[in-house]
Structure 1
Amino acid sequence: MDVDLRKVRYFVAVAEELHFGRAAERLHIAQPVLSRQIRALEDELKVLLFVRTKRATELTEAGRQLLEDGRPLLAAAEAARVRVVQAARPAGTFTIGFMPGITVTTAVRAFTKQYPELTIELLRTSWHDQVEVLRDGRADVSIVRLPIDQQGLTVRPLFEESRVVMLPTDHRLAGKPSLRISDLADEHLLQDPDAVPEWRDIAVELRERRPGRVPVFHNVEEKLEHVAAGNGISVLPLSTASFYTRPDVVAVPIEDIGPNHVCLAWSAGRRARTIHDFAEIAIGLTWST
């Protein structure tokens, strides 16, 4: 019998979360679909992998064994895919990923002077794929915004910048010169609360266990459309907010919130001289925000 790696990936997500709802969110699929896939895997293996009650989801002995074997199986498959993608890329290219609002021109010019024979490619990333472009081999390095999953990566700090809250122009707080995070306690945050722990800790909707829906955003433009429509607020780095100005949304500084940390990241297993040299250049720059 062939093992379906997709089902194994679904299983590992549920086994790590021990909660079908959270695992479905993590995988960006509907919970009923995930439940059907797990039942299909159990039918194929002819074993019970989970014991589900009203209170908890627990692994069986067979489930614990599959989790132990499944993680390295998925890692090996991913490593093979990365090697194939990297082998397919044209020789003599170096790809730099970067997040919206970050200007990489100075670093690229300095690197090009050092390696004039290389073709430098730039890859715009998002919150959802700024790390994935390293894991799947699309980029050699990526300039990322924390927090990220740093497992398997080398991460070096570059700079930090202040953050602002994005509000529709008719919002009650839109005309304020600055705000404190407590002013936003009653608002709905259109992003992962863990990305803004200062808000998460005082948010009324989380305290009352009534979190509003957060759509999946593929870019900043989509997020700002929801802000402009009055569906909630968003906290962004200042440079991103400045880059995506529009007449129906305003950026207001937040006085008591931590800065956004920008770092350079690459796969820990990569030892290429070009990566080391680009890192030296990027770390040595004075970045403008």
Structure 2
Amino acid sequence: MDLDLRKLRYFMALAEYLNYGRAAEALHIAQPVLSRQIRALESELHVQLFVRDKRRVELTPAGRQLLCDAPPLLTGAKALQRRANIAARGEEIFTVGFMPGLIVTSAVRALASEHPALSVDVVRSGWEDQTEIVRNGRVDVSYVRQPVNSRGLRVLDLFAEARVAVLPGDHRLAGKGPVSIKDLAAEHLLQHPDAVPEWRDIAAEMQENHPRKKRDNAYTVEEKLEHVACNRGIAILPESAALFYRRPDLAYLHIHDIGPNHVGLAWDASRRSPLISEFADIAAKYPPFPGDASAPGEDGSDGVSRR
């Protein structure tokens, strides 16, 4: 059986909207066309994907399983098309993704020096898309901050680093040296709790079921720090990100009782590119940590250079 990716895209739209009219509108097709394509997909798979009557549309167990399995197929197809188009243009490009605070210059230069005809590009990623840009072919490899969903990926562990609480410069804890996570329990965390799992057990705002503003989850590092400086909350960042984005109006304190952040290199496990293997070896030799910056101090100062 040859699986039609177009039918999969139609299935994903209907699974999202659970309404034939709205799904057809989003796909810019007529509703009868969508109905025929879904029936054809069900016939090809020999399963029923939706339960439908006059009042509702619901996924069947088979539909829920396909909803889990279809996205990697679609993103993989997009990645294949992207790489084929690059090859067709006669270009030789290798693209590296990286998270904020990680300096990848040494590794990029090392690969470029070994392959003078190769164009080595870089793409800044974020918490939400650091693995997605690998799956959709936007980058060949990506430096990621774990934990990540590693399905379909290979992840090479590179190093672990401490995490730092970033507070307003006039905060009551500023200048008091390392803190515990409990010291921060009354604060508002300007990021999704999934980024700081330890927060769930101690945070007053979690225990009291305070509604979290949706925009809290979408801050870039720069936006987080602006809000911290305006006394709207705190952020907990990997040490390299805190050092890279250091500012004189903020205080940076180590948190002594939470685990480190792990940094790795991720790539599509199905690819057999020699360049990926070569870059993985290079990445292990050149960790992407800004080691020339001074770390937050253990002596009560924030330890951040004012250069």
| Residue-by-residue CA offset, 1:33-63 (whole Å, 9 max, x unaligned) | xxxx3234699658439x99xxxxxx96x52
SS of the equivalent of 2:19 reads helix
Aligned residue pairs: how many? Answer: 256
- The aligned counterpart of 2:64 is 67
Alpha-carbon offset, residue 157 of structure 1: 0.5
- The aligned counterpart of 1:123 is 123
Alignment of 1:125-144 (within 5 A): 125-144=125-144
Alignment of 1:170-185 (within 5 A): 170-185=170-185
- The aligned counterpart of 1:236 is 237
- The aligned counterpart of 1:92 is 92
For 2:123 and 2:277, locate their aligned partners in 1 and report how far apart those are by CA, in whole Å: 19
For 1:152 and 1:41, locate their aligned partners in 2 and report how far apart those are by CA, in whole Å: 34
| Residue-by-residue CA offset, 1:66-93 (whole Å, 9 max, x unaligned) | 2234444443332221111222335211
- The aligned counterpart of 1:250 is 251
Alignment of 1:72-87 (within 5 A): 72-87=69-84
| Residue-by-residue CA offset, 1:233-255 (whole Å, 9 max, x unaligned) | 11001111111122332211111
Alpha-carbon offset, residue 114 of structure 1: 2.1
Gaps of 5+ in 1: 13-36, 53-58
Distance change >3 Å, CA 7–CA 207, structure 1 → 2 = farther
| Residue-by-residue CA offset, 1:239-272 (whole Å, 9 max, x unaligned) | 1111112233221111111111110000111110
* Letter of the structure 2 residue corresponding to residue 77 of structure 1: L
- The aligned counterpart of 1:188 is 188
TM-score by length of 1: 0.79
% identical equivalent positions: 44
* Letter of the structure 2 residue corresponding to residue 38 of structure 1: L
Distance change >3 Å, CA 9–CA 161, structure 1 → 2 = farther
- The aligned counterpart of 2:206 is 206
Distance change >3 Å, CA 127–CA 42, structure 1 → 2 = closer
Alpha-carbon offset, residue 113 of structure 1: 2.5
SS of the equivalent of 2:266 reads strand
Larger radius of gyration: 2
Contact 2:111 2:282 in 1 (8 A): yes
Choose 237-246 or 210-219, whichever is displaced more. 210-219
- The aligned counterpart of 1:275 is 276
What RMSD over aligned residues (CA atoms) do the two structures have, in Å? Answer: 2.8
